[in-house]
Amino acid sequence: MNDIWYGILQAFQLIYTLDQDLIDISVRSLKVTLSALVISSLFALPLAAVLAVKRFKFRRFIIALLNALMGLPPVVVGLIVYILLSRSGPFGVLDLLYTTAAMVIAQIVIITPLITSIAHQSLRELWSEYHDLLISMNTSHIQRIKTLLWDARRALLTASLAGFGRAIGEVGAIMIVGGNIDNATRVLTTAIALETSKGDFALALALGFVLILIAIALNLATHWLSKTEREGRW
């Protein structure tokens, strides 16, 4: 018990003194996740709007596939990305394996179906309200998509935050494709796993506290966005 309390005190000391390893790992983790989030959102949100507005062949199949991919095991994603980026794989010439770029790619694959599915649900509900008005105004598909994306911006930001929460806590896929290399690809979750296995509970707990703070901030932001949406503000 004394060892546990000592580890907790050391963890708070590392946070208070802004330990360099703690900062480097935290910043790298945020860079990887935010990069994946931006790229994924640029693809997922317009796709969700297209699926809500347009009617085309295989539309229902694509929606069902995206919903199914939401539950895709991250380690499977890591394995697939590893195979594609390995030297014997089709993209091995790019030499991306065991880099932060590979980790970003894995996170994009993981969170894109999640963001698309959540955003599509919100946009579909909004489209049912706007349908008659936008049709009567003889708007183009592009104009309808732009209108939906703008008016549903709070719900879309919530969908993106959900993707961020999924990505920041991911360990399996990025461990496989990143390799957990010190000062290169080590992020919060992989560092926690490594330091725990080494018995360095102080740093592991400090990293864990940072991850918890990020999760709390994420939940508060999501709650605030949901509240403002219900009250009709922003």
Please determine, for residue 228, whether its predicted confidence score (pLDDT) is greater than 80: no
Number of Cβ atoms within 10 Å of the Cβ of 170:
26
Domain coordinates in residue numbering, the chain:
20-229
- For residues 88-115, give the mean pLDDT: 93
Q: What is the pLDDT of residue 232?
A: 55
- For residues 109-131, give the mean pLDDT: 92
- For residues 196-200, give the mean pLDDT: 81
For tokens 């509900």, the residue is 125
Q: What is the pLDDT of residue 199?
A: 79
**Cα–Cα distance between 49 and 39 in angstroms, integer?**
16
Q: What is the pLDDT of residue 3?
A: 59
Q: What is the pLDDT of residue 57?
A: 85
Q: Which residue has the higher pLDDT, 76 or 131?
A: 76
**Cα–Cα distance between 221 and 213 in angstroms, integer?**
12
Please determine, for residue 229, whether its predicted confidence score (pLDDT) is greater than 60: no
* CATH number of the 20-229 domain: 1.10.3720.10
Please determine, for residue 21, whether its predicted confidence score (pLDDT) is greater than 90: no
Q: Which residue has the higher pLDDT, 56 or 97?
A: 97
Please determine, for residue 233, whether its predicted confidence score (pLDDT) is greater than 70: no
- For residues 180-195, give the mean pLDDT: 90
Q: What is the pLDDT of residue 43?
A: 94
Please determine, for residue 214, whether its predicted confidence score (pLDDT) is greater than 80: yes
- For residues 139-166, give the mean pLDDT: 88
Cα three-residue angle 186-93-108, rounded to 5 degrees: 45
**Cα–Cα distance between 110 and 86 in angstroms, integer?**
19
Query: What value does the mean pLDDT of the chain take?
Result: 87
Q: Which residue has the higher pLDDT, 160 or 230?
A: 160
Reading the block at residue 24, the tokens are 């480097």
Q: What is the pLDDT of residue 220?
A: 83
CA distances 81 to 71, 78, 102, 169, 216, Å, are 17, 5, 8, 18, 30
pLDDT bin (cut points 50, 70, 90) of residue 19 is confident
